[in-house]
């Protein structure tokens, strides 16, 4: 007989709803991502969530299942940012302070960071065991890239997005897919997508963007930012940037690569559902969220 998992979707969804209803709870920070996070969705009451006093939820990676659907189903802002276990590091990185400061303001500006981790540095830490106090190993210079060769780009609009893996494997095509409706609702603001990859390969990345394009998700788009991908295999000698460019080359909006979001720290927290302003020039840039 197959053993049922204890932490199933019904249990975790009830725990989440209890916390969200609790007036003494001001914010919910997810402990980690979680490969089975999608199973919470069918047990959450998004109508009730939209009527309750809003509170911050924060997480990334598989937390996209909730961070994104809070935005698109309940029209409630949420934060795509660090999970709780990261806050155990011995000496906090600036990005962790930013993640708390963003909860305290009605608008928030953040410059690109100076250094970032590499996959090798990230994997070395994991091989040495999960250290709950580990600090980021920031060894590479941060260099944002304007994909279409522009000297500088500047755009803003209503932002939505998250981990592409979760959009591809869980959200798009499910009954919780209200992406097109959300983009249409805020077309007068223009849409800014923030996207980042955990793992996969370049043909898979190409197909996902192509599918989003065919669904009309890039209509009324003002620009897209892509985080540094963690583990994306470059098949057929096609790079991640080349696959991205090939799908998006005919659109007029700018695309910025290797932005400080996602799985290769540090990550700039983004308020999903806010008006996001992006500026990028000479490998550096800033983002400003307005969410009053």
- Average pLDDT on 242-263 reads 97
pLDDT band, residue 32 (cuts 50/70/90): confident
DSSP string of 48-115, one letter each residue: HHHHSPP-EEEE-GGGHHHHHHHHHHH---EEE---GGGGG-SS--HHHHHHHHGGG-SEEEEEPPSE
Between CA 280 and CA 107 the distance in angstroms is: 19
pLDDT band, residue 79 (cuts 50/70/90): very high
Contact (Cβ atoms closer than 8 angstroms) between residue 81 and residue 58? yes
| Model confidence pLDDT, tens digit, residues 132-141 | 677 888 999 9
209 three-state secondary structure:
helix
| Model confidence pLDDT, tens digit, residues 132-169 | 677 888 999 999 999 999 999 999 999 999 999 999 99
Q: What angle, 0 to 180 degrees and rounded to 10, lies between the N-to-C axes of helices 240-248 and 202-214? A: 20
pLDDT band, residue 121 (cuts 50/70/90): low
pLDDT of residue 38 exceeding 70, the answer is yes
Cα-based distances in Å from 109 to 29, 70, 155, 259, 285:
21, 23, 14, 15, 11
Between CA 141 and CA 261 the distance in angstroms is: 15
Rounded to two decimals, the pTM is 0.94
Domains detected in the chain: 9-290 (3.50.30.60)
pLDDT of residue 7 exceeding 90, the answer is no
Helices (H) and strands (E) in the chain, counts: 9, 16
In sequence order, the 6+-apart residues with CB closer than 8 A to the CB of 98 are 108, 110, 268, 269
């Amino acid at each position: 007989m197959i053993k049922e998992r204890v932490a199933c979707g019904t249990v975790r969804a009830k725990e989440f709803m209890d916390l969200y209803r609790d007036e003494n709870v001001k914010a919910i920070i997810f402990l980690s991502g979680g490969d089975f996070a999608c199973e919470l969705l069918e047990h959450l009451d998004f109508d009730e969530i939209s009527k309750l006093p809003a509170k911050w939820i924060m997480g990334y990676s598989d937390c996209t299942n909730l961070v994104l659907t809070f935005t698109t189903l309940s029209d409630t802002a949420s934060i795509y940012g660090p999970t709780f276990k990261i806050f155990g590091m011995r000496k906090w990185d600036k990005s962790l302070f930013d993640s708390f400061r963003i909860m305290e303001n009605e608008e928030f500006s953040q410059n690109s960071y100076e250094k970032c981790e590499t996959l090798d540095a990230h994997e070395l830490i994991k091989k040495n065991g999960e250290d709950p106090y580990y600090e980021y190993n920031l060894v590479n210079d941060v260099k944002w890239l304007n994909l279409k060769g522009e000297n500088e780009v500047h755009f803003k609009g209503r932002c939505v997005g998250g981990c592409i893996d979760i959009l591809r494997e869980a959200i798009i095509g499910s009954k919780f897919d209200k992406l097109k409706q959300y983009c249409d609702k805020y077309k007068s603001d223009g849409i800014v997508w923030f996207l980042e990859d955990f793992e996969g390969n370049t043909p898979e990345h190409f197909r996902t963007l192509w599918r989003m394009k065919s669904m009309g998700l890039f209509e009324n788009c003002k620009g897209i930012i892509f985080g540094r991908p963690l583990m994306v295999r470059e098949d057929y000698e096609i790079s991640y940037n080349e696959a991205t460019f090939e799908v998006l080359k005919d659109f007029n909006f700018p695309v910025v690569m290797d932005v400080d979001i996602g799985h290769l720290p540090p990550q700039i927290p983004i308020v999903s559902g806010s008006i996001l302003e992006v500026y990028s020039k000479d490998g550096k840039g800033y983002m400003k969220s307005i969410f009053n």
